Amino acid sequence: MLDYFATVTVVEAASELAAIVRQRFPERVSVITADFDEVRLEAAYDNIFIVHALEHLDHPVETLARVRGWLRPAGRVFVAVPNANALSRQIAVHMGLVEFNAAVTPAEAAHGHRRTYSMDLLLSQLRSAGYRIDDHGGILLKPLANFQFDQAIAQGIVDDAYLDACHKLAQTYPDLSASLFAVCSSAR
């Protein structure tokens, strides 16, 4: 993000991760160690990125509505969440490893997940929080679990051309992609 923005403010609940960001980027990144659903910010922002955070929140609609107040009039919010209907997740359901697409697995619960998103849930929550949806879609169609994908990349089985194709397929089949995104502006 520092390639695109002069300064960045990061909200990070994990103190260990916040410390790493502070150490790596001491001059251009301001780090606030807080839970996203509790943090209060005074400044107005042109761009707010909420990346793989909504699934951790107890009250995502209320938090999204509060975040909307941090936007400048022409500002936008960029949201990304894991997809309940991801191809790899549906394969896991058919293998009997996950009970149903939107289930929160024990591993996800251990990482603080409260829910698993589908596109309709994501867009519904954004609209309920007062956003206009400017764009939405999928990010990376992947047929393997994360650990399998990581191993395939490390062994050279998956290369940049394959990853590019997976990104292009996510544009065609967003409901099967690993993650969902939405770009929003304030509807009010």
Note the pLDDT tens digit of each residue in 93-111: 999 999 999 999 999 999 9
Q: Rg of the chain over CA atoms, in angstroms?
A: 17
pLDDT digits (tens, 9 = 90+) for 39-97: 888 768 999 999 999 999 999 999 999 999 999 989 999 999 999 999 999 999 999 99
Phi, psi angles (nearest 5°) of residue 133: -85, 115
pTM (predicted TM-score): 0.90
Decide if 37 contacts 125 (C-beta within 8 A): no
Coarse DSSP helix, strand, coil percentages of the chain, rounded to the nearest 5 percent: 35, 25, 35
DSSP bridge pairs for 13? none
